[in-house]
Amino acid sequence: MRVESVRMADSGLGDVESLPRGGFRCRLCHVTVANKPSLDDHLRGKKHQRLENLRNVRQAQELRSVFVSGFHKGTPASELSEYFQAYGEVVNVVMDKDKGVYAIVELQNEEVLEKVLAQPQHSLGGQKLRVKPREKKDFKYTPPRKQGSARQGQLNPEKLAQKLCEADDVDAQMPLMVQLFEFSESERRLRDLLVTLFQEVFLEFFPGSAILPFGSSVNGFDVSGCDLDLFLDLEKTKSFQASAKGPNEPQAQEGASPELDSRSEDSILSDIDLASATVPEVLELVATVLQKCVPGVHNVQAVLNARRPVVKFCHKESGLRGDISINNRLAICNTRFLQLCTEVDERVRPLVYVVRHWAKQQALAGNPFGGGPLLNNYALTLLVLFFLQTRNPPILPTVAHLRELSEDEERTVVDGWDCSLPKDPACLEPSGNAETLCSLLSEFFRLFEDYNFAGCVISLREGRQLPLPGFLSSCDMAGRLKLGPFNLQDPFEQSHNVAANVNEKMALRFQRCCRAAAKYCRSLQYQRKSSKGKIWGLVRLFQPGASEAEAPMAEGLVIYLPKFHEQLGQVGDLSHLWFQKVCTGVAFVLRDVLKCSCVETWQGLGEEQEASGTKQKEEGLEAKSEHMVAGAKHPINEEEDTVSPPAKRLRADALLPGGERTTWNCAAWHRVWLGRRRVRRQLHGPEPDSQQQQKAGSLELEAKVSDVIAQQEGEAGPAGPLLQFTVCAQFASTGASDEQDTHISLSFAPASEPSAAFQEFFHFLQGFLPRMVEQHLANSA
């Protein structure tokens, strides 16, 4: 049963929360204790007393301090002190050293403060001063983090390899990666200080605003040196500004409280109406505040053409880079989701750190400035979380399940998206899954080595892949989600494909690298520490380009077709029937949709029978190749293709499915891979995206598109085929066991040296063919 955390109401215990099973947590000191006597000890103890005193001192200082701006740049503190001494004693003046544009003046007491604020206008050296009370802020104590983390800067690849090789096994190497890459204590402290500084400054200019960090600084996947992502929440500032102005500005201002009045007059807010200002306008203002008023910040630049416009900055002393956005409340929610995942299971962090490092080394992921086709770190992290949702039993819950577990008061909707999540991970049942980290990593690669990224949408909301045809016809989101070669739906903003920037080439590289990594993970070099001092385990996985080097050229010309369970229903046990249906689909797409010649040469035999079947195969090949005349002016008569090849009649049902194979001789006659989208538009005119996408999936429409392209290339048609190639379909085995993996590989071999046109055609087929075969199977089911 879930026990609600209740804030204690007694005076003096305002910082204490009661926890399930009789425990308590002191929110001031971030300390959790098991029972009431321990709590009493803590509250009487040195640490609590010291922090309570510190908080009192800070709050008292705040209550008698003013924020002053408007003076000449470079005005010394002594001059300000002298000026304010006319109202009473000045205890301290803290100047903004870096820019010299504002100061905090601490007065002797609140009486002096009242006098200062009662003065309608202040001026110094001929400049009108802005003088405002300080914003009241919660006192926050940042607990020190455990020692021992090394800075990434000190970790060159050799050192990393050395440290990893010293571990006992991969299960020890993986948590070590977290220790080596996470923030050091000083780095975390620096970030906390920076966030506090930003908060102080922005509060002065945007009353009621809040600076909220999100992303890797706080989501549990911190890597030393990573960006500092900040969200400037101006909601309260907007309401404050609206209430100060009111529907009828002059009258409303009369009625507004004097405190709000004085603030709005002097505030930078008098220059802008937040309710009607555009995001770029507000960001320009944020950039100005950053540039002029935040000490130590430089290289401020507003990037306004991004999906989420931001202001970029750099902290001079530490070199830390960061972004501030103002319309990114969803990121706060997905950050909480990522945090929650790390709290639910301790295997999550090591696995994400290792996959992220591997992907970075293989140039598959990262966040390069200006985008590019790489998976961003957020997308890659979601991919790992999705993998953990699909384990049996699952290691992570689906987002839909998390929503069900959230209490009424935890229900949150942001920008129309349901972002409800439970606050307390303790409400989740522990996973019964006992897989080791070493095995999980290997399984991660196995899952994605042949994944049909283009043919489905990966949903963390549901914890499963949603096949495209079904997704397009059933889901409201279908029209809005930008589909591409890699479809990974944001678990909250469900119309956003977080991998929409990934192009086909990158999606294929990702698969290829997963395949090579999965293969390596099956080797002893991965699984066992070397006794001879050789590199082992994660070290070799991290070698840049290792995955590429292992992928033979021919592997680049293979398309893997998925299981098509949805379309084929229960034929899983009848593998040869399944194989036949898929082959029919492949031939149909090549021939009827893409208008290629496609002649089956022979249909295979079990490997054991290959020798005895060779003659028949050869006969079949000869018979069929007669139909495929190089240089012939038109595609071969379709009727000929329907004749059963001799080998087909010989095939017995008892043959091992693993040995089944079908080969076609093919020729492409037109550049059907170019300009399809344009032709689709010509055929249907401008249409809402959803319709367009649905139709893009229809075989009939795609066949028409090919016809139009063929016609546009000229009535007479080409003098000969543009490309000639063979396609060989067979079961592909990737498992470590003898069990046949249920997917089919299509190996393409060009008749001559692969030309640029062939490469283009092949890349096109990699996305198109699996989708269309899927469609064909669905139609014929």
> Given the rule CB under 6 A, which residues bind ligand UTP?
214-216, 219, 221, 223, 226-227, 229, 330-331, 334-335, 367, 376-378, 381, 498
Q: Which is nearer to ligand UTP, 67 or 221 (CB)?
A: 221
For the CB of residue 335, give the shortest distance to ligand UTP in the complex, in Å: 5
DSSP secondary structure of 2-62: ----EE--STT-TTEEE-GGG-EEETTTTEEESSHHHHHHHHHSHHHHHHHHHHHHHHHHH
For the CB of residue 404, give the shortest distance to ligand UTP in the complex, in Å: 23
Q: Which is nearer to ligand UTP, 142 or 367 (CB)?
A: 367
User: Can you tell me whether residue 467 is helix, strand or coil?
Assistant: strand
Q: Which is nearer to ligand UTP, 81 or 367 (CB)?
A: 367
Q: How far is CA 568 from the centre of its chain?
A: 32
Dist CA 493 CA 478 (whole Å):
13
Q: Is the sign of the CA dihedral 41, 43, 44, 45 positive or negative? A: positive
For the CB of residue 306, give the shortest distance to ligand UTP in the complex, in Å: 11
Q: Which is nearer to ligand UTP, 214 or 240 (CB)?
A: 214
Q: Which is nearer to ligand UTP, 18 or 362 (CB)?
A: 362
Q: Which is nearer to ligand UTP, 216 or 724 (CB)?
A: 216
User: Can you tell me whether residue 301 is helix, strand or coil?
Assistant: strand
Q: Give the strands of the sheet with 297-303, arranged side by side.
A: 210-214, 228-233, 321-325, 310-315, 297-303
Compute the chain's Rg from CA coordinates: 33
For the CB of residue 227, give the shortest distance to ligand UTP in the complex, in Å: 4
> Do 89 and 112 contact (CB within 8 A), yes or no?
yes
For the CB of residue 342, give the shortest distance to ligand UTP in the complex, in Å: 12
User: Can you tell me whether residue 743 is helix, strand or coil?
Assistant: strand
CA distances from 599 to 57, 154, 773 (A): 86, 60, 17
Q: Which is nearer to ligand UTP, 228 or 667 (CB)?
A: 228
For the CB of residue 381, give the shortest distance to ligand UTP in the complex, in Å: 6
For the CB of residue 214, give the shortest distance to ligand UTP in the complex, in Å: 5
Q: Which is nearer to ligand UTP, 285 or 310 (CB)?
A: 310
In this structure, the number of other CB atoms found within 10 A of the CB of residue 685 comes to 6
Q: Which is nearer to ligand UTP, 263 or 357 (CB)?
A: 357
Q: Which is nearer to ligand UTP, 221 or 448 (CB)?
A: 221
Residue in this structure with the two tokens 């369970």, named with its chain if needed: 565
For the CB of residue 196, give the shortest distance to ligand UTP in the complex, in Å: 20
For the CB of residue 360, give the shortest distance to ligand UTP in the complex, in Å: 10
Q: Where are the alpha helices (DSSP H) in 182-257?
A: 185-205, 235-245, 249-255
For the CB of residue 127, give the shortest distance to ligand UTP in the complex, in Å: 41
CA distances from 595 to 80, 306, 345, 580, 773 (A): 83, 40, 52, 21, 15
Q: Which helix (H) or strand (E) holds 768?
A: helix 756-780
Q: Which helix (H) or strand (E) holds 612?
A: helix 610-625
| Beta strand ranges found along 316-396 (DSSP E) | 321-325
Nearest residue to ligand UTP, using CB? 215
For the CB of residue 282, give the shortest distance to ligand UTP in the complex, in Å: 19
Half-sphere exposure of 65 (CA within 13 A, CB side): 22
Q: Which is nearer to ligand UTP, 80 or 502 (CB)?
A: 502
Cα dihedral: 379, 383, 385, 391 (round 10): 170
Q: Which is nearer to ligand UTP, 339 or 779 (CB)?
A: 339
DSSP secondary structure of 487-550: -EE-SSSTT-BTTTT--HHHHHHHHHHHHHHHHHHTSHHHHS--TTS---THHHHTSTTHHHHH
User: Can you tell me whether residue 312 is helix, strand or coil?
Assistant: strand
For the CB of residue 510, give the shortest distance to ligand UTP in the complex, in Å: 16
Q: Which two tokens stand for residue 318?
A: 């530490």
